[in-house]
């Protein structure tokens, strides 16, 4: 089972790129972020024509998340993260596909630091902590996938010293990510590629992609019963080199039908 996450940076402006990648990569499930479209403008017909069922939570201009499933309809279980009924941002959607609970999330950017946007980011992170702990207690297979807007460690930034006061790399945010993982989640890409430089985002400025000046922002957190099935975790980096592409590349994991036994202990 192949599960992907892709911050498309505008689902309509990027529709051709998304469809091209879907055809090439053939993921079974996709979590999308930054739809930048209201519910009524989600391109459901084109996505269905490509062979995917979809659930989505749109928003005019900003944010927006969706879950796609190949040859089936995702079973919607939640729209919005609990903990703040006044939160109007579309940043969390959840569905069950093939017995796995998929939480698709788009964590706030939080810049500039310091300020109200940074405070909102930390508050959103705290709500995610609480809800993620509840999910773990259920002891069901869960994947929390999306754009976390955090580089977890210095290994995840092309030039860490330039980012110390950025909301994506502030110590408070890295600590929040570390605490979340320590609840019992497995960071899938890091699990299979310890010590390796992996980026999922390259900004549009200064030929960042050409210089490989990237950031690792898009993460998969796996509950224990999913983590033992993890067989691959990769970034479709070449997609970032396409015309009219997003500033993020698609990221994906592959799950075996049962436990993968030969994983080295770390």
- Interface residue list for DNA (CB under 7 A): 7, 9-10, 12-14, 34, 36-38, 41, 60-62, 108-109, 111-112, 117, 147, 149, 168, 201, 203-206, 215, 217, 244, 247
Environment class of 191 (CB within 10 Å of its CB; exposed 0-12, middle 13-18, buried 19+): middle
With contact defined as beta carbons under 8 Å apart, do 38 and 265 qualify?
no
**Taking the complex as a whole, how short is the minimal distance between the CB of residue 236 and DNA, in angstroms?**
17
**Tally of CA atoms within 13 A in the half-sphere of 83 that contains its CB:** 15
Question: Cα–Cα distance between 190 and 155 in angstroms, integer?
Answer: 10
Shortest Cβ 106–DNA spacing (Å): 8
Q: Which of 77/88 has CB closer to DNA?
A: 88
The least CB distance from residue 217 to DNA, in Å, is 6
Which of residues 9 and 57 has its CB atom nearest to DNA in the complex?
9
User: In the complex, what is the shortest distance from the CB of residue 224 to DNA, in angstroms, rounded to a whole number?
Assistant: 29
Closest to DNA by CB, 13 vs 82, is: 13
The nearer residue to DNA, 142 or 215, going by C-beta atoms, is 215
What minimum distance in Å lies between the beta carbon of 247 and DNA?
Answer: 6
Nearer to DNA (CB atom), residue 101 or residue 124:
124
In angstroms, the CA 109 to CA 120 distance is: 9
Q: Do 85 and 66 contact (CB within 8 A), yes or no?
A: no
Quickly count: other Cβ atoms within 10 Å of residue 42's Cβ: 21
In angstroms, the CA 101 to CA 214 distance is 30
**In the chain, how many H helices and how many E strands?**
6, 14
Q: Given the complex with DNA, which of 92 and 97 has the nearer CB atom?
A: 92
Measured between alpha carbons, how far is 143 from 145 in angstroms, rounded to an integer? 6
Q: How many residues does the chain have?
A: 266
User: In the bound complex, what is the minimum distance in angstroms from residue 162's beta carbon to DNA?
Assistant: 8
């Amino acid at each position: 089972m192949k599960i992907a996450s892709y911050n498309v940076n505008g689902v309509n402006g990027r529709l051709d790129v998304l469809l091209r990648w879907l055809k090439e990569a053939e993921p079974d499930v996709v979590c999308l972020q930054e739809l930048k479209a209201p519910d009524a403008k989600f391109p459901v017909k084109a996505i269905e024509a490509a062979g995917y069922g979809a659930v989505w939570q749109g928003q005019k201009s900003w944010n927006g998340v969706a879950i796609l499933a190949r040859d089936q309809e995702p079973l919607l279980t939640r729209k919005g993260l609990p903990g703040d009924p006044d939160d109007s941002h579309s940043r969390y959607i959840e569905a069950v596909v093939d017995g796995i609970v998929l939480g698709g999330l788009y964590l706030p950017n939080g810049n500039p630091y310091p300020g109200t946007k940074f405070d909102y980011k930390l508050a959103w992170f705290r709500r995610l902590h609480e809800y993620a702990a509840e999910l773990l207690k259920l002891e069901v297979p869960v994947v929390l996938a999306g754009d976390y807007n955090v580089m977890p460690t210095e290994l995840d930034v092309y030039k860490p010293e330039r980012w110390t006061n950025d909301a994506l790399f502030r110590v408070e945010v890295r600590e929040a990510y570390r605490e979340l993982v320590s609840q019992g989640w497995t960071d899938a890409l890091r699990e299979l590629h310890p010590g390796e430089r992996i980026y999922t985002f390259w900004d549009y400025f200064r030929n960042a992609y050409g210089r490989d000046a990237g950031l690792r922002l898009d993460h998969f957190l796996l509950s224990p019963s999913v983590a033992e099935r993890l067989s691959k975790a990769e970034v479709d980096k070449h997609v970032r080199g396409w015309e009219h592409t997003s500033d993020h590349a698609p990221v994906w994991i592959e799950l075996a039908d049962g436990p993968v036994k030969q994983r080295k202990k770390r």
